[in-house]
Amino acid sequence: MSYRGTAYHGFQKQDNAVTVQEIVERCVSRVLDTKTDIFGCSRTDTGVHANEYCFSLQTDRDIKERNFIRGVNGYLPEDISILSCEEVSHDFHARYSCKAKEYLYLIHNSESKNPFAEDLQYHYRRTMDIELMNQAAAYIIGTHDFKSFCSAHNDKPDTVRTIYSLSIKKQEDLVKVLVKGDGFLYNMVRIIIGTLLWVNEGKIESDSIPDIIRAADRKYAGKTAQPHGLYLNRVFY
C-alpha cells in the first residue's frame, strides 16, 4: 500500500492516537467479515509517508486478490491506498522476511515555500552544496555501528546496520535523498539527513563523519530532520 502520513501518528497502533494500522485493520476486517490483524514491514513515525509499504495477514476467507484490493480500497480514506496483493507461504512475515528497505527524503530547496507540498517536502532555504553532501554521505555507506545516528528512545540493543547506498540529487528546487539499507534504527534516516544538512551549513566537516560513527554517541551527530519529508520508498524481499 501507499499512504500520506500527515493525519496519522505513524503506522503502529496506539491507545491514544489514530494510526495507519488501526484504519487499515478496520477496513480489512470489514472486507473479510472477521476481525483481522495485519503485520507491517516497518514502524513509521508521525507524519512520515510511504510510497511502498508492505503488510501481511492470514485469513481463511477465499477471496480473489483483485476483489481484496477493490474491497479494502472502497472503505479506506483518500490518503491510504492498497496497490497490490499476493498469496504467500505461511512462514512469510512482512517485517521479518524483509531483506532491505529504501527511504526517500524530499527537500524543497527555495527561498519561497511550496504551498502544494507543505506536508510532503521539507522546506529548506539555504543554498545546498550537493557535491559536499555526497562526499559526507559516502562515509555512511557500509556496515557500521549507527548508535550515533539513532534516537535515545531506540529500543534495539544491536545498533549495527549496513547501508548499501546513499545519494543526494537536485533537480531545480527539488532535492532527493535516497538511502537503502538492511535495516534502520529509530529516527536513523532523519538523523542522517539532519547530519548532512549540518555538513552543508558548515556545522560539521564532511570528513568528520567517521569520527561521529566511532563515537557511538547521539550528541555528535546532527539534528533530527522533520518527518514530513520522509517516505518509505521501497521494500525488498
User: Which residues are tagged catalytic?
Assistant: 45
Pairing state of beta strands 80-81 and 2-3? antiparallel
Nine-digit cell string for 79: 490518503
3-state secondary structure 82-107: CCCCCCCCCCCCCCCCCCEEEEEEEE
Measured N-to-C along each axis, helices 20-32 and 65-75 cross at an angle, to the nearest 10 degrees, of 120
DSSP string across 5-26: GGGSS-SS--SSS--HHHHHHH
Distance from C-alpha of 3 to C-alpha of 236, rounded to nearest angstrom: 18
d(C-alpha 3, C-alpha 213), whole Å: 33
| Alpha-carbon span 107 to 110, nearest angstrom | 9
CA dihedral 177→193→80→21, nearest 10 degrees, is 140
